[in-house]
Amino acid sequence: MPIATTEAHAAVPVAAPRRVWATIGAYVALTKPRIIELLLVTTIPTMVLAADGWPSVGLLAGTLIGGSLSAGGAQVFNSYLDRDIDAVMKRTRRRPLVTGAVSERGALVFAWVLSVVSTLWFWLVVGSPLAAVLSVLAILGYVVGYTMILKRRTAQNIVWGGIAGCMPVLIGWAAVTNELAWTPFLLFLIIFFWTPPHYWPLSMKFRGDYENARVPMLPVIAPARTVAVEMIGYAAAMVATSLVLAWVAGMTWVYVGIAAAAGAWFLAGCVRMYRRSRAGHSKLHEMRLFRDSITYLSIVFAAVMVDPFLTDVLSVR
């Protein structure tokens, strides 16, 4: 008996930290860190372009923290509102609110805390009331516009709902300049046109999941060929916008070459999907195009980030 009691007491200090870390991990999972990471990929280059070089470390770090809090709050609200959908989709049925790792009340409180803190952070720490307002608009657009209104009602849900995902470039620009201009709006449009050919391949791959959850994503209600045609249209508009950006922002031929090459490569991928769908192939390589879309966006915004430094180098020569 004394030995058993000692073993039981010894197990408590080991189990307790595990539970704490598991709970923290569950709350972090609600924020969907991979989506936040993609948003930050567009924020940093935008800030570099706005500052015509590296902004201060404090401003950069402050904006990234605020953006992470804002996006995290929006994603937690989304997880809370979509918990019934997540429960019937194979891809999402292990999310924390479905498994019970996080309570509904806990998730809702967490979402409000992140959203309020992010707003105050942009206003008081970053020192940009405009960035704070844009952050609030982004949260409202994603939570109310996309999750509550559009997602379950229209096949164009991801098109207009994707506007919220374009907001980080406006927020990043506002954090540096405390104003807006044509350049950040063109960056905004690049992401806007990029969103459908980025997300629809994923929807095509998990078409059955969305159909079971009664979410009318375009691939659920339209044949693959129709979806591929629309993807080509959005991708073409995206590439055109990326080239117009060079003219408006006074960027170098290096950016133009990278943007054109990356755009042609991604557009060719959309065309290949169309041809395969027209030919009746069962394998459309949806996830390949999904991953390629992330690569494309990363390449273009990396070019945006280095261009201010190239401008100085090329002007000296």
Topology adopted by domain 181-311: Four Helix Bundle (Hemerythrin (Met), subunit A) (1.20.120)
Residue type, 74: A
Nearest partner of 73 among 41, 40, 98, 107, judged by Cα: 107
pLDDT tens profile 95-146: 999 999 999 999 999 999 999 999 999 999 999 999 999 999 999 999 999 9
- 218-226 mean pLDDT: 94
Q: Residue 280 and residue 309: Cα distance in Å, rounded?
A: 48
Q: Residue 123 and residue 133: Cα distance in Å, rounded?
A: 9
Q: Residue 148 and residue 146: Cα distance in Å, rounded?
A: 6
Q: pTM for this one?
A: 0.91
pLDDT tens profile 142-161: 999 999 999 999 999 999 98
**Is the per-residue pLDDT at 3 higher than 60?**
no
User: How much is the mean pLDDT over the chain?
Assistant: 91
Contact 147, 82 (CB under 8 A): yes
* Cα 45–Cα 51–Cα 57 angle in degrees, nearest 5: 75
Nearest partner of 70 among 31, 17, 105, judged by Cα: 31
Contact 76, 30 (CB under 8 A): yes
Locate CATH 1.20.120 in the chain. Answer: 181-311
Locate CATH 1.10.357.140 in the chain. Answer: 20-179
CATH classification of 20-179 is 3.40.640.10, yes or no? Answer: no
